[in-house]
Amino acid sequence: SFKNSIINIFKAGNSHSNASFRRLSELVKKDEGLRYNFTHVVENLKICYFRADTWHTEVETHKESFAYIYGALLAPYDDRQKGEEKKSLLSDDSALEAYQNMLILLRQFVEALGKSSEAKDFLRRYYKDLGLPIPQLLKGSSSVSAEWEVEGSPNRVKKIFLARVARLVWREPDYRENPDSEADKFEELVQKEEEDILNLKLEDEFKGMLHLIFKDGMKKVREAIKNNKSTYIQAIDDMVKFCDTNAANMPEEFKMKAALLEVSGYFENFKFRLSGFEPGLLLPEDISKEDKIIVAAKRLLSLKLYRQVMDMYPRIAAIISDVSAPRLHWAEKVAPEEGIIAFFPRTPVFDRLTSMPWALIDGNKGRLTVNPSPEKVSNLRASREVQPIMDSLPVWTKDGQEIKIMTDVASRYIQTNGIDDIKRLMDGMGITGIGLLPLEYLYSKDEYVRENCLPGVDNIRGLILEIANKTRGDVIVRTMDFQKEKAPAQLKDIGSFFGTDFYFKTEKGLNIVKNELMGIMLAYFYSDKKNIRILFPMVETCAAAEKLRELTEKMRVEAAGRLSQISRRSVSANELEVKYDFMIETKNGVKNRQYLSRVADGLAVGTSDLLRSFNNELYKAYAALKNIVDTLSSAKVIEGRPPREVIIAGDLANREEFISFYLYLWKLYPHIYLSPLLSQVQEVKNWLRNSSVQESPEMFDGLFLDEIPVPLAGCISDVKPQCWLPVMRAGLEGGVRLRRELPHAVGIAATHMLKYLGNSRKRFNLRRGGGAVAWFLRHFYNQLPDIKLRIVSAEERKGEPTLLIGED
């Protein structure tokens, strides 16, 4: 064969000898099938390059032959080669002829693939894998280098990245010696995909929707095959179209739309896997693992595929998907937490990125610039030379107040090199403390899920100790915040328990929190800076607070006994005075704030759950935060005990509109800290720099009940309930009938309110005080968390009674 002939020629002696070149030249002239044979060799190399089982014995043979071809024919004539050897070879006519013939074949091979850059990219990568210099022929790119832009929606990750593009592709089939039948493989894959869906860390309702759609779709595929209406691939393609079509006709806010798109991704990925393909990244040939990349995908819909992509490369800055569906779970929830820009271009770009060019992606504006001009690149790099200095500085508001912030590291610490990444990012952004280290993510590490086991005390101790020793400020470690819909596979058999019920109503939950507390206390004992604190999630009642206090004291004693045995000296429980905080996340927690603050060393507020507790009514959540701050600011100061701190984590800590209210609270009580996600810290710092502590109170004066003038509040009990009459007004949508269900307190206050804005104590008409009424209705409403009100306005018509127009 051609391959063996080449190998034998160069194994015969010095591969650079004239004799070898003459023999090769003669072979090239005589063998009319040379093009086919050479192409066949390279195609085999390509297949082996993409195969998952790279241990295959033929791979080494192909590498060997390719290396010989390069070493004998191309390397001596590369324009980078200098010296006498090159001159002597070029002076030999037969050697030069053989070299030229091989170059012609290489060019024909590249041209045969449509002059695309993929052939060149493949060959360049192969040279790089072999550790060989790249021939001049394969340098450069066939793509057009002109700059072009595409718009997308603005992103939650407000960052700008300059990086090379990598492409997400499905690799060549992985041929098996004894392949299963298509039907057997189909059923095997269906079972695996269903298990993967059920193990997703999603809300039970959404996960159930995914499973139902997927299961029903596969049932239709089986029916199509049974009735001989189509092949497996065609039937699955039909399900992809079915999901996409139905999703396109639904409003963005519908959960079903997101579910259909997610399952569409599952069907599409299933089709590739049924054909034996696996996802892989095509990387630029000159990339190193220290460089960031932007991943371009034709269609990246499912959370499972997102996770697979994230495991393929350590430094992904952004993911581009040509499907216009920013409500996908991975894009809306997961990627922002991990600092990844999810970009959905308004026009498809995947097919235009075959050359894997440089690209500039702007999360602020939602814009992708491909082949950015040298001016744009130099401007960005110049700003980056200054930016790290700014990023690492503390935050001062525009009126000169220094604000310290902490961070929520979410699941980043379980990723490859995650702890070192956290340290690097914190140092670069001037953050000294971790306001939230949630331990529940630890249980989702592959090693524990794969073995169906839980991390032990030593695993927890080692993790926390490493993080604490690499962190300059406090590390606040939250014990498991159990939520059934997001629980790891090892804990799926536990029922629906929330907060401290998980600890005190389940045996497994109690054992978990005991192990966590033991690990935390051991880490505290061995830590250099004694900078570890405990945070208990979702504490609502006084009874729960007492149980947690007793459990913490008990674990201190047990940890001291364990350390005494290990260290061979008597360790006192007083050496394990780890501070512990309670996290308030519900209405009941807010109501019991005074007692909780007396028991704990500090408080944290989980604003995501708190907002849900108040039906996402922002001003009610603001009122709850104000009440918590008031409780701490008015508490008696105990000599020798530092003021209790408040950590604000969750949704509000990552919102720009919350910053002014945070500064309002900070002025009342300066021991309150924001703890945004690590990926959001820089953006939060920028918002703070553009805000003012002095101006913030002016925006919130009169927001809370205790700030409403006493005469006005006194009007609440001053009127009869008959002030609201059921009326009908033509022209309202659907003909809204106003009922007698309005709480009397609001009607009373609105109808008989004193003119508090002036000194006059005369009553004034509702119609004359529209602005005051609107003000009062909104702010009084914030103090009634359990009451549904109707917000009303009024108008006067000549000869007619006042008409009340309202909306729930």
Query: Tens digit of pLDDT for each residue in 490-530?
Result: 887 787 777 788 999 889 999 999 999 999 999 999 998 89
Is the C-alpha dihedral spanning 487, 490, 492, 495 positive or negative? negative
* Phi, psi dihedrals of residue 737, rounded to the nearest 5°: -95, 120
pLDDT of residue 67: 47
| All structural domains of the chain with their residue ranges | 2-138, 148-171+278-387, 182-274, 399-700, 709-807
Band of the pLDDT at 406, cuts 50, 70, 90?
very high
- Give the rounded distance of the alpha carbon of 344 from its chain centre: 15
Helix or strand holding residue 436 (H, E): strand 434-438
- CB-based contact 206:227 (threshold 8 Å): no
The pLDDT tens digits for 169-223 are 887 654 554 556 778 888 888 888 888 888 777 777 788 888 899 999 999 999 8
Q: Write the CB contacts of 193 (distance below 8 Å, at least 6 apart in sequence).
A: 214, 266, 270
Closest CA to 552 of 468, 498, 477: 477
pLDDT of residue 393: 62
- CB-based contact 217:197 (threshold 8 Å): no
- Give the rounded distance of the alpha carbon of 568 from its chain centre: 45
Q: Which option is the CATH number for 399-700: 3.10.20.90, 3.20.20.60, 3.40.50.170, 1.20.120.1810?
A: 3.20.20.60
Number of C-beta neighbours around residue 113 at 10 A: 13
Which residue type, as a one-letter code, is found at position 439?
L
- CB-based contact 96:73 (threshold 8 Å): no
- CB-based contact 713:690 (threshold 8 Å): no
DSSP notation for 366-380:
TEEEES--HHHHHHH
- CB-based contact 589:785 (threshold 8 Å): no
- 685, 686, 690, 694 alpha-carbon torsion, rounded to 10°: -10
Q: Name the average pLDDT for the chain.
A: 72
| Rounded Cα distance, 246 and 262, in Å | 12
Helix or strand holding residue 358 (H, E): strand 358-362
Q: Of 89-93, 162-166, 325-329, 375-379, which one has max mean pLDDT?
A: 162-166
Task: Report how far apart the first and last C-alpha atoms of the chain are (Å, whole number).
Answer: 83
pLDDT of residue 170: 84
Beta-strand ranges (E) seen in 86-135 are: none
pTM for this predicted structure? 0.54
pLDDT of residue 313: 86
Bridge partners of 152, per DSSP, are: 345
* Listed range (249-258, 621-630, 730-739) with the worst mean pLDDT: 730-739
CB crowding 512-551: b at 16 or more within 10 Å, else e: bbbbbbbbbbbbbbbbeeebbbbbbbbbbbeebbebbeeb
- Give the rounded distance of the alpha carbon of 358 from its chain centre: 23
The pLDDT tens digits for 232-270 are 888 998 898 888 888 888 877 788 888 888 888 888 888
Closest CA to 522 of 599, 462, 473, 580: 462
**Per the structure block, which two tokens stand in for 23?**
């023999």
Query: Bigger pLDDT: 60 or 561?
Result: 561
| Rounded Cα distance, 179 and 580, in Å | 58
Bridge partners of 327, per DSSP, are: none
Protein fold of 148-171+278-387: Glucose Oxidase; domain 1 (3.50.30)
| Rounded Cα distance, 109 and 36, in Å | 10
Closest CA to 143 of 422, 356, 448: 356
Is the C-alpha dihedral spanning 661, 663, 668, 669 positive or negative? positive
DSSP 356: -
Residue 296 predicted with pLDDT over 80: yes
- CB-based contact 269:341 (threshold 8 Å): no
**Per the structure block, which two tokens stand in for 775?**
């003000």
* Listed range (64-73, 653-662, 666-675, 778-787) with the worst mean pLDDT: 64-73
State percent of the chain over pLDDT 90.
21
Which residue type, as a one-letter code, is found at position 277?
F
Helix (H, G, I), strand (E, B) or coil at 202: coil
* Listed range (180-184, 282-286, 781-785) with the worst mean pLDDT: 781-785
- Give the rounded distance of the alpha carbon of 709 from its chain centre: 46
Number of C-beta neighbours around residue 401 at 10 A: 17
- CB-based contact 702:774 (threshold 8 Å): no
* Phi, psi dihedrals of residue 347, rounded to the nearest 5°: -130, 145
